[in-house]
Structure 1
């Protein structure tokens, strides 16, 4: 690491992943995710904290999920600038480490919270008697604290091994640096745990939970009046599973390919270019899940929508506009001309974030 600070490093495949369309498209997508993610998740936090008061286990999970997504999306402008400047990092070592750790932290907190939320819904719907005993607010808080602790521990290697590295083409990148075989083994282990603990195991649990929930709902509401309501719930469940799967699957595939590259099972510049080109695209897809979470788990909920409308009513400008519109609508419906009996209302009514550098 001392030699790295005084000498520039040469990368064997220096052109891998460096395509003009990556430097244009990825920053735009990152910026879009940042805007939508901050807006949507902030609304979820405000509504749950101010109106729903975190009175249920599900609301506690949703609150922590929104906070985890917020902690991540606020770092996206840095990665957008990093990519737009052709992978040149001007923000210093600390922000490099902190932003990298935030990515891993968000990955594990989001996935674990979604998994716990699916288990919570399974217990509440399939085993309602057990849920009265085990689904308590205290249990929910303890689970969330445990998830944050585990996620922080899992993000430590990213904070330790991610650093600012000078390259020979006069740019400075924020990347993983492993000067020894032991540090490279740690990074390979991080990718394997990302595949197994960050996707495969949680997805199997989520899929199993929602499959059993769907079967229970179908059996309970079969032939009853609530069938339409049940169909809506079932469609939302299917959407949750599909969105989680298709958002994270491409990134997990390229993470696995990156493992093969680090182990030199497949090691050539063409393969590395494939990884470095596809990784930022799959990262964009995976990170888009942070935008969809508020809509899937919040805005689709009837109770959340009710409290969201209550929030809008408490905004002075919105309330004034609403009252004015109501008065004008009422006024326009009154006959102002004795000959016509009515007046028509004429008022008009929205290079890959993870650049890995091998030992040279």
Structure 2
């Protein structure tokens, strides 16, 4: 999506032309968007249906995963518009309101997705390392309150992005784009520059760096707890390995999907702050940005796989849903993180036994 230098909203002349405008982008990116839309809608809808129909909202993990899937669905509905925007050579035919709303929903999904992943990581850390002490905090009520706070906080963070987006006419190219306006009026330009800098810093810090540090820290502490407990219960090795693989996949997916976009986004911000008008540099950045966005959007497809389809219980319930099997008598269905949750008590007990054994050896 283009960043433009404006003289006026009703008529804008670009100094570097439509940088990043290539036929292969206009062809390939919409196809990728279409695939992400189909896979993401189907995958996340299945997650919502399975959790709501069979697993119920009786565990903290299920509540967070359900909200994560709903967050991805709210974003995915905007992909057809972005696909059309790219396929038509960055021409936006949907009006100003949908321009603002779609841009806001993209950032809204960024924050909600990462915040829910972070909440899941913290919940898993508490379930493993502090299984007994955290039981009074890891309740359905607290989980729902956390979800409400995440939705509200993400909405507030996404409002500035929506306000700085609008539809602009490019006079020398006879097209209309959904983009950020950079006015030449000095007072307005300075205020807008400061606002865009704040938005970009929030996107990099709150939308990636800080949550990633929290997630990595939680998973390192989880791994240490599991490794420590493994010395006590060798029979749990296969279950531990499965949990660790799931956690590693979640971190890897998070990092690989968002890191390229964050890097080029930072480069884009630097060019805006220094008012770089080197068309070659802008061409490289604007050409790479659509592909990094595709990778970032793919995270909405990965989430159902990482947090849902890796679970045996989820697959069984999915087959029941596809076969339209009746619910029958209510039976306890473990959550998506049931294997880890059930092991958390054994891990805590093992850690406790380790501490007691060390204490008794010191006495002797």
TM category (shorter chain) comes to: 0.7 to 0.9
**2:136 counterpart SS class:** helix
Q: Tell me, in whole angstroms, the C-alpha distance in 2 between the residues paired with 1:253 and 1:106.
A: 19
Output one character per residue of 1:206-265: Cα deviation in whole Å (capped at 9) or x when no partner.
011011111211221346122122112111111111111111100000111011111116
Q: Are residue 94 (structure 1) and residue 97 (structure 2) matched?
A: yes
Q: Tell me, in whole angstroms, the C-alpha distance in 1 between the residues paired with 2:113 and 2:107.
A: 10
Q: Are residue 111 (structure 1) and residue 121 (structure 2) matched?
A: no
- Tell me which of 41, 50, 55 is aligned to 2:53: 50
CA contact (8 A) 1:192 1:259 kept: no
Q: Tell me, in whole angstroms, the C-alpha distance in 2 between the residues paired with 1:53 and 1:4.
A: 53
Q: Tell me, in whole angstroms, the C-alpha distance in 2 between the residues paired with 1:215 and 1:154.
A: 34
- Tell me which of 31, 34, 37 is aligned to 1:31: 34
- The residue aligned with 2:18 is 15
- Tell me which of 212, 220, 225 is aligned to 1:211: 220
Output one character per residue of 1:59-103: Cα deviation in whole Å (capped at 9) or x when no partner.
110011000000001110100010000000011111111111110
- Tell me which of 303, 314, 319 is aligned to 2:313: 303
Return structure 1 stretches of 4+ with deviation > 4 angstroms: none
Structure 1 position 306, deviation (Å): 2.8
- The residue aligned with 1:148 is 151
Q: Are residue 289 (structure 1) and residue 299 (structure 2) matched?
A: yes
- Tell me which of 256, 259, 275 is aligned to 1:249: 259
CA contact (8 A) 2:116 2:150 kept: yes
Q: Tell me, in whole angstroms, the C-alpha distance in 1 between the residues paired with 2:129 and 2:16.
A: 54
- The residue aligned with 1:60 is 63
Q: Are residue 187 (structure 1) and residue 191 (structure 2) matched?
A: no
CA contact (8 A) 1:161 1:178 kept: no
**2:58 counterpart SS class:** coil
Q: Tell me, in whole angstroms, the C-alpha distance in 2 between the residues paired with 1:100 and 1:257.
A: 20
Output one character per residue of 1:292-342: Cα deviation in whole Å (capped at 9) or x when no partner.
0001001112332232222123169xxxxxxxxxxxxxxxxxxxxxxxxxx
Q: Tell me, in whole angstroms, the C-alpha distance in 2 between the residues paired with 1:120 and 1:265.
A: 44
Q: Tell me, in whole angstroms, the C-alpha distance in 1 between the residues paired with 2:315 and 2:198.
A: 42
**1:166 counterpart SS class:** strand
- The residue aligned with 1:130 is 133
- Tell me which of 172, 175, 179 is aligned to 2:179: 175
CA contact (8 A) 1:42 1:66 kept: yes
Q: Tell me, in whole angstroms, the C-alpha distance in 2 between the residues paired with 1:56 and 1:302.
A: 17
When the two structures are superposed, what TM-score results if normalisation uses the length of structure 2?
A: 0.83
**2:135 counterpart SS class:** helix
Q: Tell me, in whole angstroms, the C-alpha distance in 1 between the residues paired with 2:32 and 2:197.
A: 28
- The residue aligned with 1:161 is 164
- The residue aligned with 1:227 is 237
Q: Which runs of 5+ in 1 are unaligned?
A: 317-360
Higher Cα radius of gyration: 1
**2:180 counterpart SS class:** strand
Output one character per residue of 1:163-187: Cα deviation in whole Å (capped at 9) or x when no partner.
1100011100011114222122211
Q: Are residue 273 (structure 1) and residue 283 (structure 2) matched?
A: yes
Q: Tell me, in whole angstroms, the C-alpha distance in 1 between the residues paired with 2:140 and 2:17.
A: 52
Q: Tell me, in whole angstroms, the C-alpha distance in 1 between the residues paired with 2:228 and 2:309.
A: 26
- The residue aligned with 2:274 is 264
**1:130 counterpart SS class:** coil
Q: Tell me, in whole angstroms, the C-alpha distance in 2 between the residues paired with 1:314 and 1:129.
A: 38
Q: Tell me, in whole angstroms, the C-alpha distance in 1 between the residues paired with 2:145 and 2:8.
A: 43
CA contact (8 A) 1:57 1:140 kept: yes
**1:163 counterpart SS class:** strand
CA contact (8 A) 2:7 2:13 kept: no
Q: Name whichever of 171-180 and 67-76 sits farther off.
A: 171-180
